[in-house]
């Protein structure tokens, strides 16, 4: 069990001020003495951002950054008119180019929507005295949440406890954050974000009366944890710089200013999170960065009591824990840690001597232990063996003996799903593969039987037998073998012939490659819009993720970051050499740190790609890591290096930072996205990158940037709004890969979102 520390994704920079020249053509310089304001007329050429002299020097190295003005220095307020004018002008250019293909976007959107069961629901799961589930109504953007007592008949109707559609109303953006039901089932605390800034506001509903309490917790990050017999909540407030440095206690019915700080972190690079132990009797407060952690415990019924420090932080040592009663009734800590093995071990300790850890399961070079969950009569370990997910049932009496759950395919994505009850005999599992839709199972621990409860329905039809998936390996330039998961139609050659594609067909290559986040070989209905037109779709399991273990992650960070980019480029070249595709027929995409990947690979090997999509790309790496005031920067130095203190880190980041390495060469067609309210990768990173690319690149290939003016890191909210953005992306890819005519737009009269 890993306590929920806020995810530390790709970092960013901040904002600034100055204009662009909307009338200028590509790669030209004109008088920049005045600001050009965009008009309502449809633009006939892309906007050209002004260059404004700006330099900075670190470690004796001077860098010129003429687009620094796009970072609005009043951030998080963004009110510089020159900045806003430029962003709006880029949006106008995007609309002008994509507007001509709106019918294609709409056709793809309708095609993707037809694969989604609109009136869908989750499988009910028990928590306490109730069954909980959520539903989508036909046509609606957001979920409705229901529950009913366990004691009522199975066919009894549920009670609506939360309607996200009602909360969203006419808002441009809405996202539900935490949703936490009190242990007695009476109160529901939930948080919402209405602008994409990921600063949530929490409120509380009395589910017995239907009334909203007066309590309101603003500026929240992370979860909501019930303590003190459901009379109080533990939460993490956000600082002005969007950091979570406290665990605070709010007692129902008291003023927010009276909330008590249970723990406060002094290291700005750390982040604080809280949760309950398996039996809900201990509050676990964890703090850490990307490589070091520290945990404290306090009784959940007395959260203001003295905190128990489990083990003091030690740089490079990660650990998380859970608590259970041993056979004598004493509290026993179970600890997941990398203190003596890179792939983690499982240990335990007495609550009386919490820092004295005894190994339960040794660390292994073969098996990568990624986590564990405690239950009353057994416990579960999860991990990966040869890159494939493992779910293992273990006994407290013989913990070293594992009973792995067998899954039917050679390559898949599987793991524990929602299992809120400590005492249960069946486990809820999630399973999918690149050809098998999302599936929900119950696993009977005693009998070993897997019961399929639900598999994702695809109303427009899906025949698994039409597709083939493979697990391949390609050699990177340093000799490392990099795995790739790939899916395509069995009749791919016929499809390509149908769409007049001669020779090797198009292939879409996707990866992330950072923070130790593995990209599993999972299922996607939207992906079918490419695959069913003859694309092969490949996921490169590159270094920087932990697909093949912790070392795989470490080989893609800090001073080995270039391995991530090289792996992606070399996998693409390997796929070309094997005949899966050809040079210029590879489309690629990635977001956030995966957007940084896109920036690096087009600098390194632009001829390989026929189209590249970079979502909220973390491309201004050096400037971001030099700015300690940005939301995530201090916590990111462990991932990328600290160029403020280290000349070596400065030089190394400079050597690959996509923005800094833009050069006078030809680049492939590119679509770049941003979110004006994004606190993770701030809008000016993609804006500066696009501005520099326009001025520097030597080709006439199209370059588009779309900034969501009322959204953040995840793009637009609502299932149809976000789906429409996928349709836009695929429209761009098909267009640039010469397959725009593969989309039937007959019957499409108008475009736009639902």
The helix/strand/coil state of 165 is: helix
What are the start-end ranges of the H helices in 22-177? 81-99, 102-113, 164-168
Q: What are the tokens at 176?
A: 């539900």
Of the CA atoms within 13 Å of residue 137, those in its CB half-sphere come to 9
Neighbours of 410 (CB within 10 A): 11
Tell me which of 439, 529, 592, 717 is the catalytic residue.
592
Q: Kindly state the DSSP code that residue 604 receives in the 8-state scheme.
A: H
Catalytic, 678? Answer yes
d(Cα 216, Cα 664) in Å, to the nearest integer? 53
Decide if 592 is catalytic: yes
Q: Are the beta carbons of 271 and 289 closer than 8 angstroms?
A: yes
Residue located via tokens 């189209």: 611
State the alpha helices, DSSP H only, in 127-241: 164-168
Q: Checking DSSP bridges between strand 703-708 and strand 670-675, what pairing results, if any?
A: parallel
Q: Cα separation of 527 and 464, whole Å?
A: 14
How do the residues of the chain divide into helix, strand and coil, expressed in percent and rounded to 5?
20, 30, 50
Phi-psi region of 267 (alpha: psi -120 to 50; beta: other; left: phi over 0): beta
Which residues is 125 bridged to in the sheet?
132
What are the DSSP calls for 635-661, one per residue?
HHHHHH--TTT-HHHHHHHHHH-TTTT
For 596, the 3-state DSSP assignment is helix
R_g (Cα) of the chain, nearest Å: 26
Reduced to 3 states, what is the DSSP secondary structure of residue 747?
coil
- The set of residues, in sequence order, having a beta carbon less than 8 Å from that of 635 and lying 6+ positions away, is 8, 243, 268, 269, 270, 271, 289, 290
Q: How many CA atoms lie within 13 A of 396 on its CB side?
A: 14
Laid out side by side, the sheet with 271-276 consists of 271-276, 282-288, 293-299, 308-309
Candidates 289, 32, 65, 143; CA nearest to 718 is 143
Spatial separation of the C-alpha atoms in residues 244 and 45, rounded to whole Å: 44
| Structure token pair of residue 723 | 């789906």
CB 428 within 8 A of CB 419: yes
| Cα atoms in the Cβ-side hemisphere of radius 13 Å centred on 325 | 10
The DSSP letter of residue 416 is: E
**Whole-number Å distance between alpha carbons of 434 and 413:** 9
Alpha-carbon span 473 to 484, nearest angstrom: 6
Which residues make Cβ contacts (< 8 Å) with residue 633, sequence separation at least 6?
Answer: 11, 624, 625, 627
Helix axes 647-656, 562-577, angle to 10 degrees: 30
Closest CA to 633 of 204, 80, 13, 160: 13
Active-site entry in 215, 567, 620, 678: 678
Q: How many angstroms separate the CA atoms of 316 and 320, rounded?
A: 13
Coil, helix or strand for 729? helix
The position carrying tokens 């198009």 is 506
Q: What is the dihedral of CA 263, 267, 271, 277, to 10 degrees?
A: -40
Name the active-site residue from 250, 269, 713, 717.
Answer: 713
Annotated catalytic residues are 592, 678, 713
């Amino acid at each position: 069990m890993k306590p929920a520390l806020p995810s530390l994704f790709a970092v960013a920079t901040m904002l600034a001020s100055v204009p662009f020249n909307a009338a200028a053509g590509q790669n030209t310089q004109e008088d920049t003495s005045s600001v050009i304001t965009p008009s309502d007329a449809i633009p006939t050429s892309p906007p050209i951002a002004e260059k404004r002299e700006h330099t900075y020097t670190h470690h004796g190295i001077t860098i010129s950054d003429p687009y620094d003005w796009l970072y609005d220095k009043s951030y998080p307020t963004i009110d510089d008119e020159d900045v806003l004018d430029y962003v709006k002008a880029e949006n106008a250019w995007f609309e002008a180019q994509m507007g001509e293909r709106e019918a294609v976007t709409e056709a793809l959107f309708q095609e993707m929507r037809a694969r989604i069961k609109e009136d869908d629901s989750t499988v009910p799961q028990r928590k306490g005295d109730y069954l909980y589930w959520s539903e989508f109504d036909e046509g609606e953007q957001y979920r409705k949440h229901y529950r009913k007592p366990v004691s009522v008949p199975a066919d009894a109707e549920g009670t609506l406890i939360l309607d996200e559609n009602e909360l969203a109303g006419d808002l441009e953006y809405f996202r539900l954050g935490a949703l936490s039901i009190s242990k007695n089932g009476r109160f529901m605390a939930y948080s919402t974000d209405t602008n994409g800034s990921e600063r949530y506001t929490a409120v509380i509903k009395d589910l017995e009366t239907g009334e909203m309490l007066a309590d309101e917790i603003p500026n929240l990050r992370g979860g909501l944890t019930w303590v003190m017999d459901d009379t109080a909540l533990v939460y993490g407030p956000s600082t002005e710089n969007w950091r979570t440095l406290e665990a605070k206690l709010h007692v129902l019915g008291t003023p927010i200013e009276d909330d008590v700080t249970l723990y406060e972190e002094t290291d700005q690079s750390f982040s604080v999170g809280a949760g309950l132990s398996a039996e809900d009797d201990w509050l676990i407060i964890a703090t850490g960065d990307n490589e070091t952690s520290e945990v404290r415990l306090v009784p959940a019924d007395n959260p203001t009591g003295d905190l128990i420090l489990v083990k003091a932080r030690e740089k490079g040592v990660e650990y998380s824990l859970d608590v259970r009663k041993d056979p004598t009734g004493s509290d026993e800590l179970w600890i997941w840690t990398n203190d003596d093995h890179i792939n983690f071990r499982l240990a335990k300790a007495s609550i009386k001597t919490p820092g004295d850890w005894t190994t339960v399961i040794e660390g292994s070079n073969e098996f990568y232990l990624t986590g564990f969950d405690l239950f009353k009569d057994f416990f579960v370990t999860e991990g990966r063996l040869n890159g494939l997910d493992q779910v293992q049932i273990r006994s407290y009496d013989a913990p070293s003996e594992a009973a792995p759950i067998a899954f039917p395919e050679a390559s898949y994505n599987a793991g524990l799903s929602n299992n809120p009850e400590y005492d249960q005999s069946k486990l809820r599992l999630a399973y999918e593969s690149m050809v098998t839709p999302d599936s929900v199972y119950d696993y009977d621990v005693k009998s070993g039987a897997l019961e399929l409860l639900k598999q994702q329905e695809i109303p427009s039809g899906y025949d698994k037998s039409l597709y083939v998936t493979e697990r391949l390996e390609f050699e990177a330039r340093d000799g490392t073998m990099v795995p790739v998961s790939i899916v395509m139609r069995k009749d791919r050659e016929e499809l390509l012939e149908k769409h007049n594609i001669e020779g090797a067909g198009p292939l879409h290559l996707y990866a992330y490659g950072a923070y130790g986040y593995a990209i599993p070989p999972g299922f996607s209905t939207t992906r079918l819009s490419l695959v069913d037109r003859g694309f092969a779709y490949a996921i490169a399991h590159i270094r920087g993720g932990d697909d093949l273990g912790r070392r795989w992650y470490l080989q893609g960070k800090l001073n080995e970051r270039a391995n991530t980019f090289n792996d992606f480029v070399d996998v693409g070249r390997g796929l070309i050499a094997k005949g899966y595709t050809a040079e210029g027929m590879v489309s690629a995409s990635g977001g956030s740190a995966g957007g940084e990947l896109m920036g690096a690979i087009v600098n390194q090997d632009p001829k390989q790609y026929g189209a590249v999509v970079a979502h909220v790309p973390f491309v201004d790496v050096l400037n971001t890591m030099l700015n300690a005031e940005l939301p995530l920067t201090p916590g990111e130095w462990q991932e990328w290096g600290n160029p403020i203190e280290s000349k070596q880190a400065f030089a190394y980041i400079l050597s690959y930072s996509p923005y800094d390495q833009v050069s006078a060469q030809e680049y492939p067609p590119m679509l770049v996205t941003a979110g004006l309210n994004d606190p993770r990768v701030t809008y000016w990173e993609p804006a500066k990158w696009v501005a520099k690319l326009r001025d520097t690149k030597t080709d006439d290939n199209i370059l588009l940037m779309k900034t969501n003016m009322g959204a953040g890191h995840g793009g637009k909210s609502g299932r149809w709004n976000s789906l429409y953005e996928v349709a836009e992306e695929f429209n761009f890819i098909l267009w640039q890969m010469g397959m725009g005519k593969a989309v039937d737009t007959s019957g499409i009269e108008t475009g736009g979102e639902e």
